Chains A and B, each alone.
Chain A
Amino acid sequence: MPKVNINGQEIEAPAGMSLLQACELAGAEIPRFCYHERLEIAGNCRMCLVEWVGAPKPQASCALSVGDLRPNPDGTPANIRTDSPVVKKAREGVMEFLLINHPLDCPICDQGGECDLQDQALGYGAGRSRYEENKRAVEEKHMGPLIKTIMTRCIHCTRCIRFATDVAGVPELGAVGRGEHMEITTYLEKTLDSELSGNVIDLCPVGALTSKPYAFTARPWELTKTESVDVMDALGSNIRIDARGKEVMRVLPRLHEDVNEEWISDKTRYACDGLMKQRLDRPYVRKGGKLQEASWNAAFEAIATGLKGLSGEEIAGVVGDLCDMESMFALKGLLALLGSDRIECRQDGAKLESAVRASYLFNTTIAGIEDADAILLIGTNPRLEAAVLNARIRKTWLAKKLPIANIGPAYDLTYPVEQLGDNAAVVADILAGKNGFADILKKAERPMLILGQGALAHEDGGAVLKAAHDIADQFGFIKEGWNGFNVLHTAASRVGALDLGLTVEGGLEGLLKDAKAVFLLGADEFDAAPLKKSFTVYLGSHGDRGVQEADVVLPGAAYSEKSGTYLNTEGRAQMAPRAIFPPGDAREDWTILRALSDVLGKTLPYDSLPELRAKMNVTVIDEAPREGWGDFGAAGKIAKGGIQIAVTDFYGTNPIARASDTMAACRDAKLADLKEGTGTDG
């Protein structure tokens, strides 16, 4: 590795590393606007100038690699200075140029307090402008309901363009015009058609792109920041919940290389306004066909009355998509004390079983996607089901242009996909070697398949699972250090629920058929009509589909309001602490179940969260498991027929998103764009 001398300190760095990174290694902070670790290098802001002793001019350190540094004439490593008067003067000059046209509107700018330009102007700004000329003004651009633009503030770093083009895979952002007339815009000012569009707000180093729903609502220094985990999909993206008082103001991504890098989906970021809408903030009991407000005691009494005389076999439970491990564990415990083990988590009817853990995990791991050299998608639309994971597939495709094929409805996944047809029977064809893609999979060193909930919920889902298992078995998907069999979940709770064994023979349908009393734990994703005939208790945060037939409603906490453990689609357990308190009389779900168990005379054996967690025994935190292979799935023929993708409406997959006005606005904007048509109608 070449050596380089930075501020008198000699370090070794890989030849391909940028000088900027090498300087950071040596502990020298380099100011920058256009450079970003995860984007292509542009080298256009010039803020990262350093002095290369002997070179005639300061050098842009982001665009110079360590390997390109010629040693000094005497053979000693090149001398780089980041703190010399030359560097300070050069950066001050760059800053002065950047500020020529940047407005002095920090007091009314939402970026204020967390603005790269503001921070760096403190170090390199002159404090006084030498320009008397008018600053240029730029018209706002329309970028949809999520991104607010104040383009006069733009410093043309082009981070947003590079993000949209490379990471999001929607080349719709660009810089039009030139020189002083250059402007950043979407093509013909259409809404940015990406599920990751909100990330450009974090990337924007100034206040040109800011969050529209969050506009003028809070300042960063008045927010309480809680490091948490997202539940909008099954990725478990790491997030930071920023709250003021009892309200979640915004959700931001947190760095996790193995899960979400530093991106989150628009649903993760923007559905948080749904946390304040449609909330259940007090217990309700159905009287005379109508739900009426009640006290906790009255609600518990009503449950005790409703369950009277029922045998354990007649009591059942359904857990929803957003549940934390703790509340599911408590519900399982309560029902067990009542004599029932009939709890179901597969609201969508996916034919998954909990016997072999590898059969329902994303075994390759999310970061492992980057090692794959062929991918087969079966009944999944990763762009809508796990937008950030889809970006990882795109990243892998960009790096090595690997073959990717899809069985299921065709969709623009932001990378080229060989469409094998929307027919579940193609899975059997591949297994039988009758499909051309079978050869590609056989020849691949590290092939992987991603099985979606849509394929598993298919009427022959069990046979599809078996066929996928056999493909993995016979085509070399399972080998030392590699497991290419993956299930992509859509529900944050699903892996945890399967770990707890919350499945029953016959699935949800069978469970509802003969249950006399049903506990719904935030379960809203199925048709509630069969619940009419049974005594139904709904415990959850939102007044959504699940409360429609409920006889007793208990107000629970949303993910931001409870300390919970979530297992993502990889089986990685992550802890999310409470960010705010639940509204009104609502309580953390497990405490409600604990209190109810007391009233029912079947007290759960724990009084605190640590005690519950000790019994739950999830000990390995934030590690993707390597599970042993086994046999699973149901042998059988796969009938010809289309696959229904699990997520069709990205913006409305759960009660929080459905309650969110922002998500509704996104859906409207998308529909409006579809109606307007694309292409040549101008």
Chain B
Amino acid sequence: MSMAVKKTSEPFEFTKKNREWANGQIKKYPAGKQASAVMPLLTRAQEQNGGWLSVPAIEHIAELLEMPYIRAYEVASFYTMYNLSSVGTHVIEICTTTPCWLRGSDDIVAAAKDELGIGFGETTADGEITLLEVECAGACVNAPVCAIHHSYFEDLTPDAMRQLIRDLKAGKDLKPGPQIDRHTSAPVGGPTTLQDEGAV
């Protein structure tokens, strides 16, 4: 993904409701340490701004927190959760960090790229779906995983990845969690221990 934040002249300001929420976040920290609230505020600004942080959005947060623009920009550029260029309606974030990679995330990525016809950091021509590569999603136990709209889709196979994209395009409800026969993080195919309920 490109490091440089995309230029836009669209102004940004928190809605009244978000502003009140932001004031609550700022109050959590001692006076003079209000800059500590930068991450939740950036997240909320990203949500309000259609999934990404523009320059005016970053500057608005920096001004709210009385911190230099560059300090807010450093934070926004550090975390992959902040998008610095516009994204589609849906964002598919595929984890490629070591555990997912060992479990075949390369194949998942290839399937997604092929199905969507785009690469990482790109958005489909209709502006619907953006594909992103992310650092460890923290769900290594069910690797490989991807995230769509704050939900995790786990134990992916290339086919499952393709099906998810097709369903997403068709507007169907997606079933979060493992995409194979597994309950949460329990063993595949059902429990292997503590099966004798009487003995428990």
The answer to whether A and B assemble together is yes
Residues of A whose CB lies within 8 Å of any CB of B are 165, 171-178, 181, 183, 186-188, 679-682
Complex contact B55–A175 (CB within 8 A): no
Given A174-B70, A176-B74, answer yes or no on A680-B3 (Cβ-Cβ < 8 Å).
no
Complex contact B7–A174 (CB within 8 A): no
Kindly state whether residue B68 has any CB partner on chain A within 8 Å.
yes
Which residues of A are found within 8 Å of B11, using beta-carbon distances? 680
Complex contact B7–A682 (CB within 8 A): yes
User: Which chain B residue lies CB-closest to A680?
Assistant: B56
Which residues of A are found within 8 Å of B55, using beta-carbon distances? 188, 680, 682
Q: Which 6 residue pairs spanning A and B have beta carbons closest together?
A: A171-B68, A174-B70, A176-B77, A187-B70, A682-B55, A174-B74
Q: State the main secondary structure of chain A at its contact with B.
A: mixed
Complex contact B3–A176 (CB within 8 A): yes
Complex contact B59–A679 (CB within 8 A): yes
Given A171-B68, A680-B59, A682-B8, answer yes or no on A183-B3 (Cβ-Cβ < 8 Å).
yes
Complex contact A177–B59 (CB within 8 A): no
How near does chain B come to A139, taking the closest CB pair, in angstroms?
A: 9
Kindly state whether residue B9 has any CB partner on chain A within 8 Å.
yes
Q: Within B69-127, which residues are at the interface with A (CB < 8 Å)?
A: 69-71, 73-74, 77-78
How near does chain B come to A512, taking the closest CB pair, in angstroms?
A: 49
Complex contact A178–B69 (CB within 8 A): no
Kindly state whether residue B46 has any CB partner on chain A within 8 Å.
no
Cα separation A183 to B54 with both chains bound (whole Å): 19
Cα separation A186 to B3 with both chains bound (whole Å): 13
Which residues of B are found within 8 Å of A173, using beta-carbon distances? 70
Which residues of B are found within 8 Å of A679, using beta-carbon distances? 59
Listed residue (A173, A681, A682) with the most chain B CB atoms within 10 angstroms of its CB: A682
Cα separation A174 to B69 with both chains bound (whole Å): 10
Cα separation A173 to B3 with both chains bound (whole Å): 15
Cα separation A176 to B70 with both chains bound (whole Å): 9
User: Which chain B residue lies CB-closest to A175?
Assistant: B74
Cα separation A178 to B74 with both chains bound (whole Å): 9
Given A171-B68, A177-B3, answer yes or no on A682-B54 (Cβ-Cβ < 8 Å).
yes
Q: Within B1-45, which residues are at the interface with A (CB < 8 Å)?
A: 3, 5, 7-9, 11-12
1/0 contact string of B53-67 vs chain A (CB within 8 Å): 011100110000000
Given A176-B73, A188-B55, A682-B54, 15 more A-B residue pairs with CB atoms under 8 Å apart are A165-B68, A171-B71, A174-B71, A176-B78, A177-B3, A177-B77, A178-B77, A181-B3, A183-B3, A188-B5, A680-B11, A680-B60, A682-B7, A682-B8, A682-B55
Complex contact B70–A172 (CB within 8 A): yes
How near does chain B come to A154, taking the closest CB pair, in angstroms?
A: 14
User: Which chain A residue lies CB-closest to B56?
Assistant: A680
User: Which chain B residue lies CB-closest to A174?
Assistant: B70
User: Which chain B residue lies CB-closest to A176?
Assistant: B77
Which residues of B are found within 8 Å of A183, using beta-carbon distances? 3
Cα separation A175 to B70 with both chains bound (whole Å): 8
Cα separation A183 to B8 with both chains bound (whole Å): 22
User: Which chain A residue lies CB-closest to B67?
Assistant: A171
Complex contact B78–A178 (CB within 8 A): yes
Which residues of A are found within 8 Å of B69, using beta-carbon distances? 172, 187
Which residues of A are found within 8 Å of B54, using beta-carbon distances? 682
Listed residue (B12, B59, B70, B74) with the most chain A CB atoms within 10 angstroms of its CB: B70
Contact of B70 among A171, A178, A681, A682 (CB under 8 A): A171
Cα separation A679 to B62 with both chains bound (whole Å): 11
Complex contact A172–B68 (CB within 8 A): yes
Which residues of B are found within 8 Å of A177, using beta-carbon distances? 3, 77-78
Which residues of B are found within 8 Å of A165, using beta-carbon distances? 68
How near does chain A come to B10, taking the closest CB pair, in angstroms?
A: 8
Which residues of A are found within 8 Å of B5, using beta-carbon distances? 188
Which residues of A are found within 8 Å of B74, using beta-carbon distances? 174-176
Cα separation A171 to B5 with both chains bound (whole Å): 18
Q: Within B103-153, which residues are at the interface with A (CB < 8 Å)?
A: none
User: Which chain B residue lies CB-closest to A173?
Assistant: B70
1/0 contact string of B149-160 vs chain A (CB within 8 Å): 000000000000
User: Which chain B residue lies CB-closest to A187?
Assistant: B70
How near does chain B come to A367, taking the closest CB pair, in angstroms?
A: 29
Which residues of B are found within 8 Å of A682, using beta-carbon distances? 7-9, 54-56
Which residues of A are found within 8 Å of B73, using beta-carbon distances? 174, 176, 187
Which residues of A are found within 8 Å of B68, using beta-carbon distances? 165, 171-172, 187
Which residues of B are found within 8 Å of A171, using beta-carbon distances? 68, 70-71
Cα separation A682 to B73 with both chains bound (whole Å): 13
How near does chain B come to A682, taking the closest CB pair, in angstroms?
A: 4
User: Which chain B residue lies CB-closest to A188?
Assistant: B55
How near does chain B come to A184, taking the closest CB pair, in angstroms?
A: 11
Which residues of B are found within 8 Å of A175, using beta-carbon distances? 74
User: Which chain A residue lies CB-closest to B8?
Assistant: A682
Which residues of B are found within 8 Å of A181, using beta-carbon distances? 3
Which residues of B are found within 8 Å of A680, using beta-carbon distances? 11-12, 55-56, 59-60
How near does chain B come to A509, taking the closest CB pair, in angstroms?
A: 46
User: Which chain B residue lies CB-closest to A183?
Assistant: B3
Which residues of A are found within 8 Å of B60, using beta-carbon distances? 680
Cα separation A217 to B155 with both chains bound (whole Å): 60
Cα separation A59 to B69 with both chains bound (whole Å): 34
Cα separation A183 to B5 with both chains bound (whole Å): 13
Cα separation A178 to B70 with both chains bound (whole Å): 14
Cα separation A642 to B70 with both chains bound (whole Å): 35
Cα separation A216 to B55 with both chains bound (whole Å): 36
How near does chain A come to B137, taking the closest CB pair, in angstroms?
A: 16
Which residues of B are found within 8 Å of A174, using beta-carbon distances? 70-71, 73-74
Which residues of A are found within 8 Å of B59, using beta-carbon distances? 679-680
Cα separation A183 to B55 with both chains bound (whole Å): 18
Cα separation A181 to B11 with both chains bound (whole Å): 29
Complex contact A681–B77 (CB within 8 A): no
How near does chain B come to A283, taking the closest CB pair, in angstroms?
A: 54
Cα separation A385 to B55 with both chains bound (whole Å): 34
How near does chain A come to B21, taking the closest CB pair, in angstroms?
A: 22
How near does chain B come to A603, taking the closest CB pair, in angstroms?
A: 63
Cα separation A172 to B62 with both chains bound (whole Å): 13
Cα separation A178 to B79 with both chains bound (whole Å): 8
Cα separation A187 to B67 with both chains bound (whole Å): 13
Which residues of B are found within 8 Å of A188, using beta-carbon distances? 5, 55
Complex contact A681–B9 (CB within 8 A): yes
Cα separation A176 to B69 with both chains bound (whole Å): 12
Cα separation A175 to B3 with both chains bound (whole Å): 11
User: Which chain A residue lies CB-closest to B68?
Assistant: A171
Which residues of A are found within 8 Å of B8, using beta-carbon distances? 682
Cα separation A26 to B68 with both chains bound (whole Å): 41
Which residues of B are found within 8 Å of A186, using beta-carbon distances? 70
Listed residue (A177, A187, A188) with the most chain B CB atoms within 10 angstroms of its CB: A187
How near does chain B come to A681, taking the closest CB pair, in angstroms?
A: 7
How near does chain A come to B80, taking the closest CB pair, in angstroms?
A: 9
Cα separation A232 to B11 with both chains bound (whole Å): 43
How near does chain A come to B69, taking the closest CB pair, in angstroms?
A: 5
User: Which chain A residue lies CB-closest to B11?
Assistant: A680
How near does chain A come to B133, taking the closest CB pair, in angstroms?
A: 12
Which residues of B are found within 8 Å of A176, using beta-carbon distances? 3, 73-74, 77-78
